[in-house]
Amino acid sequence: MSIHPGTAAKHKAPDSQAAANAPKVRRRSPTRVNPALYLFPLPAVAVIAFFLVMPTLQAFQYAITDWNGFSAAFNYVGLDNFIRAFTNDSLFTNALTNNLKFVLLVVIAQTFFSLILALLLTKNSRGSILLRALFFFPTILSSVSVAFIWKFIYDPNFGLANSVLRTVGVDGGAYLGNDAQALYWVAVTQVWFHSGQMMVVYIAGLQAIPRELYEAAEMDGANKWQQFKSITWPFVAPATSIVVAYTTVQSFKAFDLILGIAGNPPKSSLDILSTRIYSTFANSEFGYAAAQSIIFMAMIALVTWLQRRLLRLTPKGE
Amino acid sequence: MLASLSRRAILAIYAVIIIIPLTVVAFGSFKSTQELFAGPFSLPHSLSPDNFAEVVGGQNLGNSFINSAIVTGISVPLTLFLASLAGYAVSRLKGFMSWAIFGFLVLGMAIPAQANMVPLYVLFGRLGLLDSLAGLILANVVSTLPIAVFILGGFMRTLPKELYEASSIDGSGPWKTYSSIALPLSAPSIAAAAIFLFVIHWNELLYPLLFIQSPGNRTLPLALLSFQGEFQTNYPLLFAGVTLASLPVVVAYVFLQRYFVAGITAGASKG
């Protein structure tokens, strides 16, 4: 996933080649860059600079103030907001704990589950293609819609889950009403919502594996599990890094789903960092909300970096 | 034999877990509350549009639908236009400048929307963009421009340089080359990016929640969210709202399914 595919290399190669060949080739310069080309990216650069980069830098400034967003006067309070978040704000540390728990649950469940779906649907039969389309479908819905669908499933009195359980004579649970479990049930919803999308990423990885490898392995008498361990898994390792990284960011930002399923503001057992930042903001604590958002950004960066260090998922022999 | 049987069983169970909730919602949007609770799986007694009439009229969902259509209808092409201009320039410029422009634009992918929402809110306040559809459009464009540049720029780099050179030799300026060569040849990546953006912009919740105050300016996801407070357990009404809000993406998905998968996974594997 290099950000800029081979720019440096691309532009060095012809130069050194030209030098090695003959000076004549060098003199014939390639088509010159038209200066008007610099106007093309200008609107995009201006928009990003003014509405994305500048506000992000400003967030660092707000974060060290006690600004309430309205009054002209405010004080610089140094790192007080950051200290407050970690030592003197149980709402924030609760949201942080919930968020990390939620990310861990969803990443493990979704990676595992989407790989299984992909393995079962690799073949391009008509049935597989149909099921892939079906499993992918929830991804296109809005989080609020998905939240409402699952609110109904989990409704303790009228809900789908409990009415199914009742027909087989089992007492259902309170689901979201049970504070100890609520986060797990939202994790289930998140997995239902996005597994199909990650399944497709895995299928692309699986289909790139040369068939001959399996044939050769079979001739050598390798069983299915051995084939998975020594062929499939090493080959889908890059897809796994993508799935894990994307799922991490996606579940850190499950803001819409939480608000839809739990209401605004969500109760403390379902409060995560993004909903907490929003509540702080809505409470007119602009400086403190900015500090929280910087912690949020740092947290995503840290977890993503840790995964890269720990997983180091590259195909064997590369 | 046993393996293929358990494979089928897993797939069948998951298919049911996807299909059942969706059918219950679609059927439920035609039912009364009593009818829904009596038999969530049964077909509705009648295809009465009462629930839809109520959410469109009484709850102003019709108005939100129009707002969403305006915001999405402008945000998507505008993002694509700016991204394709930038992508084209990046694919034709050389060396450091190309790298620097691309890097600057794409870096924004690492910034989550929550990170700069407070300063953006303040800035929008100063510019008079709060509580306006124009503000939503701008926020949408800004938030998705980085990934759009990544997808389109990445594709345009793979176009053969000879085509550009031939076009310059024919005397075309950069604009002509962009519009008559680069854009048509990039159609597959533009289609993929368009669908990706459509899904994101149509479903966007955070920016409307931040910026919109008056009910007349609500977009669909925001209007739906405000339902939740008012109609805690009036599920048929919630379902009618969900059905209505999902209709455009569902219809597009049925016809353009392949492109959706290409678009959203392009977003996933590159985001």
- Residue from B217, B202, B60, B204 nearest B134 by CA: B217
**Residues of chain A found within 8 Å of residue B31, distances taken between Cβ atoms:** none
What pairs with residue A76 in β-bridges? A65
Angstroms from B189 CA to nearest CA on chain A: 17
Query: Is the CB of residue B87 less than 8 Å from the CB of residue B183?
Result: no
Angstroms from A229 CA to nearest CA on chain B: 18
Q: Give the pLDDT confidence of B58-96 residue by residue, as tens digits.
A: 777 889 999 999 999 999 999 999 999 999 999 988 889
Alpha-carbon gap, residue A240 to A314, rounded angstroms: 9
pTM of the complete model: 0.89
Question: What pLDDT shows up at residue A190?
Answer: 97
Best mutation target among A38, A56, A145 (most B Cβ atoms within 10 Å) is A145
Nearest to A144 among B3, B121, B221 (CB): B221
Q: Is the pLDDT of residue A23 over 80?
A: no
Q: Give the pLDDT confidence of A109-150 residue by residue, as tens digits.
A: 999 999 999 999 998 889 999 999 999 999 999 999 999 999
Nearest to B228 among A5, A44, A263 (CB): A263
> Angle at the Cα of B167 (from B165 to B173), degrees rounded to 5?
105
Question: What pLDDT shows up at residue B234?
Answer: 84
Query: Is the CB of residue A285 less than 8 Å from the CB of residue A68?
Result: yes
Best mutation target among B17, B84, B117, B118 (most A Cβ atoms within 10 Å) is B118
Three-state DSSP at B149 gives helix
Q: Is the pLDDT of residue A189 over 50?
A: yes
Query: Is the CB of residue B133 less than 8 Å from the CB of residue B71?
Result: yes
Mean pLDDT value of segment A149-170: 89
Nearest to A36 among B97, B174, B249 (CB): B174
Question: What pLDDT shows up at residue A11?
Answer: 43
* Rg of chain B on CA atoms, in Å: 23
Question: What pLDDT shows up at residue B86?
Answer: 96
Mean pLDDT, all residues of chain A: 86
What pairs with residue A65 in β-bridges? A76
Instruction: Quote the ipTM score.
Output: 0.91
Alpha-carbon gap, residue A242 to A219, rounded angstroms: 32
More confident residue, A177 or A13: A177
Angstroms from B180 CA to nearest CA on chain A: 15
Q: Give the pLDDT confidence of B22-43 residue by residue, as tens digits.
A: 999 999 999 888 888 888 888 8
Tokens of B83: 């991204």
Q: Is the pLDDT of residue A25 over 50?
A: no
Check CB contact under 8 Å for A144 and B117.
no
